[in-house]
Amino acid sequence: MADVAVELVLRSTRVITPGGTRAASVAVAAGKITAVLAHDAEVPAGARLEDFGDDVLLPGLVDTHVHVNDPGRTEWEGFWTATRAAAAGGITTILDMPLNSLPPTTTVDHLRIKQDVARAKAHVDVGFWGGALPDNVKDLRPLHDAGVYGFKCFLSPSGVEEFPQLDQERLATSLAEITGFGGLLIVHAEDPHHLESAPQNPGPKYADFLASRPRDAENTAIQNLIDQARRLNARVHVLHLSSSDALPLIAAAKAEGVRITVESCPHFLTLTAEEVPDGATEFKCCPPIREAANQDLLWDALADGTIDCVVSDHSPSTADLKTGDFATAWGGISSLQLGLPAIWTEARRRGRTLEDVVRWMSAAPAALAGLDAKGAIEAGRDADFAVLAPDETFTVDPAELHHRNQVTAYAGKTLYGVVKSTWLRGTRIADHGTPTEPTGRLLERQN
Ligand SMILES: [Zn+2]
């Protein structure tokens, strides 16, 4: 990089680096960070200075759990709208989930269809997860070679018929195949038998919905997954953990050396069952938002590393599908644009720092997917940044959200943390909440 002229210098009194927060000037050339310099470093001739004063410069967030649904269910969401929401929210990389689009990302041909659709619409960098289905074991290796970051499976019904779940036997088969080529399996971990035997009382009461998705369903599925991962020495990741009862199982597995990582989501960490009004189906997701005491334990687990990352599970649908009662409404919460301020608001209330938030929402998800160019402000990484005014507040107005259907469980909430701008490879991709041109690239797994 030494012979590439510095084009841009980003300066702030608070730059969050892997070594801590400090006043610094970050030099950028050809879309990469070339150096993190002293705050008062001389700006090289020909370079442009962007001085953010006391606003915080953090690495662009990496959201490894996004349902873009494009092509096929583009009335739910699409690459244009989802990546604009991401850019406005300080996210510079997303990984798209393999289901809810038509086709799902379960063969190389399907992956190419999705990449063709995404290419011209991506305002942030976009990579893809593949899907592990009962009948596509032969497609897993080709998908891995084609550059997906790992494979998602369900252990209970996914909500769409083209993406069936794996039973324990097929889970073992797929996991053995994936482990054979050094891949990663990411798992929606709810046990179908526990869901079937839970009380089903459809209607507007949130308590009834919560009882229909009991903690035991998560706990059992996670225990089974740990057992399979141990037996095969496989690498697995638990998606959207909600049940705090599973934390001791996970902590013990990690201590024992089982290769397991875990994510949770802004809605589990900032919203509580107690506050969901009856009939408020915009709060429906699976697994469900649980009680405040459960949430406290999830925060403890973030602090001690039992939970590795926080990602959105942005999973929209059309507004009409989000209505009705809790049994029939689509399960999914849209938070691409709001995840950073939602988590920061709760983190600061609980005495956590922005450095913690960066670890959970940028460094750890980048590490999960092996995105070596992302997730930190240091020389050699992509020049991806978010500029945040952490002490400014705003009130969530659904009309200001860029995702396609402006349904949100956060409407009317006042949150700390205003994203002033977002930068991708040295180009400003959002300015005060307004996305600019699509300059995102399609990413493929490299190693
Ligand atoms: Zn999801």
Ligand 1 centre to CA of 339 (Å) is: 15
Dist. CA 273–CA 286, nearest whole Å: 13
Ligand 1 centre to CA of 274 (Å) is: 23
Ligand 1 centre to CA of 63 (Å) is: 12
Ligand 1 centre to CA of 265 (Å) is: 10
Collapsed DSSP state (helix, strand, coil) of residue 65: strand
Ligand 1 centre to CA of 351 (Å) is: 29
Ligand 1 centre to CA of 409 (Å) is: 16
For residue 360, which of 351, 350, 371, 368 has the smallest C-alpha distance?
A: 368
Dist. CA 322–CA 329, nearest whole Å: 5
Token digits for 19? 């070594």
Ligand 1 centre to CA of 151 (Å) is: 13
Token digits for 143? 């998908």
Ligand 1 centre to CA of 167 (Å) is: 19
Dist. CA 136–CA 131, nearest whole Å: 9
**Given this model, what pLDDT does residue 1 score?**
47
Ligand 1 centre to CA of 207 (Å) is: 22
Peptide bond into 192 cis (omega under 30): no
Model's pTM, two decimal places?
0.97
For residue 52, which of 431, 337, 436, 369 has the smallest C-alpha distance?
A: 431
Ligand 1 centre to CA of 11 (Å) is: 36
Ligand 1 centre to CA of 29 (Å) is: 36
CB-CB contact of 87 with 423 (8 Å): no
| Residue environment code for 162-186, b if the CB has 16+ CB neighbours within 10 A, otherwise e | ebbbbeeebbbebbebbbeeebbbb
Residue 85, burial from CB neighbour count under 10 angstroms (0-12, 13-18, 19+): buried
Ligand 1 centre to CA of 65 (Å) is: 6
Collapsed DSSP state (helix, strand, coil) of residue 292: helix
Helices (H), strands (E): how many in the chain? 13, 18
Ligand 1 centre to CA of 77 (Å) is: 13
Ligand 1 centre to CA of 165 (Å) is: 14
Domains of the chain by start residue, with CATH = 8-57+382-391+410-435 (2.30.40.10), 60-369 (3.20.20.140)
With a cut of 50, list the residues of the chain below it in pLDDT: 1
Ligand 1 centre to CA of 26 (Å) is: 35
Ligand 1 centre to CA of 314 (Å) is: 7
Packing angle of the helix pair 137-145, 108-118 (nearest 10 deg): 50
Ligand 1 centre to CA of 289 (Å) is: 14
- Kindly list the distances between the CA atom of residue 335 and the CA atoms of 122, 310, 343, 403, in Å, as whole numbers in the listed order: 18, 12, 11, 9
Q: What is the tens place of the pLDDT at every residue in 309-344?
A: 999 999 888 788 877 788 888 888 989 999 999 999
Q: Write the DSSP symbol of residue 361.
A: I
Ligand 1 centre to CA of 185 (Å) is: 14
Output Rg (C-alpha) for the chain, integer angstroms: 21
Ligand 1 centre to CA of 132 (Å) is: 14
**Given this model, what pLDDT does residue 205 score?**
93
Q: Is 31 left (phi over 0), alpha (psi -120 to 50) or beta?
A: left
Ligand 1 centre to CA of 25 (Å) is: 37
Residue type, 216: D
The CB-side HSE value for 22 (13 A sphere, CA atoms) comes to: 14
Ligand 1 centre to CA of 196 (Å) is: 21
Ligand 1 centre to CA of 317 (Å) is: 12
Ligand 1 centre to CA of 32 (Å) is: 31
Q: What is the tens place of the pLDDT at every residue in 381-415?
A: 999 999 999 999 999 999 999 888 888 899 999 99
Ligand 1 centre to CA of 188 (Å) is: 8
Packing angle of the helix pair 247-256, 292-304 (nearest 10 deg): 20
Ligand 1 centre to CA of 97 (Å) is: 7
Enclosing H/E stretch for 114: helix 108-118
Ligand 1 centre to CA of 315 (Å) is: 6
